[in-house]
Amino acid sequence: MAGHLIRRLHQRSTQVFQSEMQKAGFDLTPVQFAALEVLRTNPGIDQASLSAMIAYDRATIGGVIDRLEHKGLVERAVSESDRRARILNLTESGRRVVESALPVVRMLQTEILSNLDDAERKQFLAFARQALSQELE
């Protein structure tokens, strides 16, 4: 069944990510890295926008940001235009961490699908994008 295979592939992806990041000396989960990468390319966005961009639950994104803030990687401030919103930015340490981790994350993408050759990986990614096309818009 597709759902079972997708769940198993997600488990493999998470295991490879955590193993390779740990070997490289980074203490980041896949969700934390995704948040940092979005903040690197979209400085000053609010928590709600971040949660939408990484497809993470708005109710629990605060915990992710709490942990990143505790690690000194993210700064959170109250929005001047909407006191209920929290604006997020990387700290200098956060910027260094995400830029150092990015090559590791790019490398491990091949490892996640190591049983596929280059053509099959491209085809898999095309099918995955097609399956998620409405959500990616």
Q: Which pLDDT tens digit goes with each residue over 26-44? A: 999 999 999 999 999 999 9
φ, ψ at 86 (rounded to 5°): -115, 125
Separation between Cα atoms, residue 13 and residue 27, nearest integer Å: 16
Assigned token pair, 57: 């639950």
- What's the pLDDT score for residue 137? 56
Spatial CA neighbour of 35 closest among 62, 16, 12, 5: 62
- Assign 132 a pLDDT band (cuts: 50, 70, 90): confident
Decide: 70 and 27 in contact? Cβ < 8 Å.
no
Residue listed under structure tokens 């909407």: 82
Give the CATH number of domain 8-133; options: 2.60.120.650, 3.20.20.80, 1.10.10.10, 2.70.98.10: 1.10.10.10
